[in-house]
């Protein structure tokens, strides 16, 4: 007997009525043109608590017995599951203790506390706070609410699959971010049971491709812990249940780089006018960079799983995205230290319709000869062709610059 069934997902849908929003589906013309398919965005970044995680967390808490709730709930989370559990616990009037990484975004920590939960910071990665949560469960007798490897949590996430096919029955492909695997497991069970021909594609960050490696090896595999913009899916070891479901139902898993994630966040901000956290932008990153084969002419749904982006990171993320798309460039050039040289360089840049954002003028570097100066420029550009043309023009005028 399957541990997660379509019937369980439909029961979760009943639990979530009046609690979770039925989030919108948005067709993206610009992304569709770029990818050669019809791309629809499932906007779970508009969900209550800013993430899909409310669905699974609430379904789990709603399914507990009064005795289990009375013992208090403990959970481990990078941030989004934390908010879902905290909100559900508040609704049911029970105590919640959430273990989160020490480097979790401040916004996620504060939001979790605002729902009345106690937050315990432990370690730099999900594995660290999971160990702390297990310790507290044993010491305090709390009821554990796992973020992904739990049938009731998976069933709650699966309600997204029901909504997608209800809204767009002709969906051919659903692209979903993967961390521990709870989200894609629920969506895959729902979608494949309703439409066996549908294709389910998972996306992981290259920095922590634990599920991809596990499926490739045919057994659960732990990968080294590395930081990622997609902090919500930095899970080093997949769940036992989720591994089994993904192995059975998911057709393909691809990975995206940190630069590609940043580029997708920027695209969603500029072209879709929506804020997505790193994990939520991964499906769009995979489509933008043509990581998924065979989608041409298909109806593709990309899940924007969350919008709880750390505002302290936005500037760096946007800058990385601008550099990746050749709209910001950094030049280094060594020139003679004499009058009018700098003005000639700035004139060339101005004439090319590029915009200088900053200039750093340094005579003191060890490898700079007397009479010369190092000039570092941060320049706003239009595209790769523009950058290369500007480099060529500078060189032709006696200022051979290096792209940093």
Number of separate domains in the chain: 3
Report if residue 218 sits inside a domain.
yes
Closest CA to 52 of 153, 166, 203: 153
Backbone CA torsion sign across 235, 237, 243, 247? positive
Output DSSP code: residue 271. I
d(CA 269, CA 265): 6
CA nearest neighbour of 71 among 148, 145, 149, 168? 145
Give residue 396's domain range.
326-403
Residues 296 and 171 grouped into a single domain: yes
Which of 300, 317, 334 terminates a domain? The answer is 317
pLDDT in tens, the chain (404 residues): 468 999 999 999 999 999 999 999 999 999 999 999 999 999 999 999 999 999 999 999 999 999 999 999 999 997 899 999 999 999 999 999 999 999 888 888 998 999 999 999 998 888 899 999 999 999 999 999 999 999 999 999 999 999 999 999 999 999 999 999 999 999 999 999 999 999 999 999 999 999 999 999 999 999 998 999 998 999 999 999 999 999 999 999 999 999 899 889 999 999 999 999 999 999 999 999 999 999 999 999 999 999 998 877 888 888 877 888 899 999 999 999 888 999 999 999 999 999 999 999 888 777 788 888 999 999 999 999 999 999 999 999 999 999 98
- Would you list the DSSP string of 362-397? ES--TTPPTTEEEEEEEEE-SSHHHHHHHHHHHHHT
Domain CATH code at residue 120? 3.40.50.1100
CA dihedral 234, 74, 312, 204 (to 10 degrees): 20
Within a 13 Å sphere around the CA of 42, how many CA atoms are in the beta-carbon half? 29
Tokens 């593709």 found at: 300
Q: Are strands 143-144 and 402-403 parallel, antiparallel or unpaired?
A: unpaired
Q: According to the model, what pLDDT value does residue 2 have?
A: 65
Residue 13 maps to a domain: yes
**Neighbour-count burial for 349-360, b at 16+ CB within 10 Å, e otherwise:** beebebeeeeee
Domain co-membership, 33 together with 155: yes
Pair (163, 46) in one structural domain:
yes
Give phi and psi for 401, each to the nearest 5: -95, 155
Element of type H or E holding 286: helix 278-288
CB distance 23 to 42 below 8 Å:
yes
Query: Residues 160, 21: one domain?
Result: yes
CA distance 28 to 40: 6
Same structural domain, 42 and 119: no
Question: Among 111, 126, 144, where does a domain finish?
Answer: 144
What's the pTM value of the predicted model, to 2 decimals? 0.87
Question: Does 99 lie in the same domain as 76?
Answer: yes
Q: Which of left, alpha, beta for 391 (phi over 0: left; psi -120 to 50: alpha)?
A: alpha
- Cβ-contact 184, 176 below 8 angstroms: yes
Among residues 116, 144, 172, the one where a domain terminates is 144
Q: Is residue 1 part of a domain?
A: no
Show Cβ contacts of residue 233 under 8 Å, excluding neighbours closer than 6 positions.
Answer: 177, 178, 179, 204, 205, 208, 278, 279, 282
User: Which among 249, 235, 164 is positioned nearest to 202, based on CA atoms?
Assistant: 249
- Regarding whether 13 and 134 lie in a shared domain, the answer is no
**Does 300 lie in the same domain as 246?**
yes
How high is the pLDDT of residue 1? Answer: 44
The DSSP H or E segment spanning 40 is: strand 38-43
- List the one residue out of 29, 22, 57 whose CA is nearest residue 43: 22
CA 182 to chain centre: 15
Q: Give domain status of residue 307, yes or no.
A: yes
Edge-first strand listing for the sheet containing 328-336: 355-362, 372-380, 328-336, 402-403
Same domain (yes/no): 113, 30: no
CATH of the domain at 383: 3.30.70.260
Residue 321 is predicted with a pLDDT of 79
Q: Do 65 and 46 share a structural domain?
A: no
Q: Do both 216 and 288 map to the same domain?
A: yes
Q: Which residue is associated with the tokens 């320049």?
A: 379
| Residue 191 is assigned to a structural domain of this protein | yes
Q: Are residues 164 and 247 part of one domain?
A: yes
H helix or E strand, kind and range, residue 203: strand 199-205
**Distance (Å, whole) CA 16 – CA 13:** 5
Q: Are 60 and 156 in contact (CB under 8 A)?
A: yes
Q: How far, CA to CA in Å, does 395 sit from each of 28, 328, 334, 369?
A: 41, 19, 11, 20
Is 338 among the domain residues? yes
């Amino acid at each position: 007997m399957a541990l997660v069934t379509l019937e369980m997902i439909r029961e979760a849908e009943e639990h979530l009525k009046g609690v979770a929003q039925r989030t919108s589906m948005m067709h993206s013309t610009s992304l569709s043109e770029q990818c050669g398919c019809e791309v629809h965005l499932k906007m779970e970044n508009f969900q209550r608590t800013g993430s899909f995680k409310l669905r699974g967390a609430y379904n789990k808490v709603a399914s507990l017995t009064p005795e289990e709730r009375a013992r208090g709930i403990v959970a481990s989370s990078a941030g989004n599951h934390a908010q879902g559990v905290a909100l559900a616990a508040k609704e049911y009037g029970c105590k919640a203790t959430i273990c989160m990484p020490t480097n979790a975004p401040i916004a996620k920590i504060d939001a979790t506390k605002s729902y009345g939960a106690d937050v315990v910071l432990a370690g730099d990665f999900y594995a660290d706070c999971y160990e702390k949560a297990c310790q507290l469960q044993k010491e305090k007798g709390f009821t554990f609410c796992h973020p992904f490897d739990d049938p009731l949590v998976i069933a709650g996430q699966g309600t997204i699959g029901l909504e997608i096919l209800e809204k767009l029955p002709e969906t051919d492909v659903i692209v979903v971010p993967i961390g521990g695997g709870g989200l894609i497991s629920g969506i895959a069970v729902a979608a494949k049971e309703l439409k066996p021909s549908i294709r389910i594609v998972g996306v992981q960050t290259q920095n922590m491709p634990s599920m991809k490696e596990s499926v490739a090896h045919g057994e659960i595999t732990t990968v080294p812990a590395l930081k990622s913009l997609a902090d919500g899916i930095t899970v080093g070891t997949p769940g036992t249940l989720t591994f089994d479901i993904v192995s059975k139902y998911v057709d393909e898993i691809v990975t995206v780089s940190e630069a590609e994630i940043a580029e997708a966040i920027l695209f969603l901000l500029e072209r879709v006018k929506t804020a997505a956290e790193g994990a939520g932008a991964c499906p769009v990153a995979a489509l933008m960079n043509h990581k998924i084969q065979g989608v041409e002419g298909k109806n593709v749904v990309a899940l924007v799983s969350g919008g709880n982006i750390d505002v302290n990171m936005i500037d760096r993320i946007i800058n990385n995205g601008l550099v990746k798309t050749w709209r910001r460039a950094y030049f280094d050039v060594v020139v003679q230290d004499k009058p009018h040289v700098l003005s000639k360089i700035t004139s060339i840049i101005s004439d090319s319709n590029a915009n200088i954002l900053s200039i750093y003028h340094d005579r003191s570097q060890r490898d700079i000869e007397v009479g010369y100066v190092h000039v570092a420029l941060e320049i706003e550009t239009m595209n790769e062709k523009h950058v290369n043309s500007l480099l060529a023009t500078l060189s032709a005028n006696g200022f051979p610059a290096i792209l940093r």
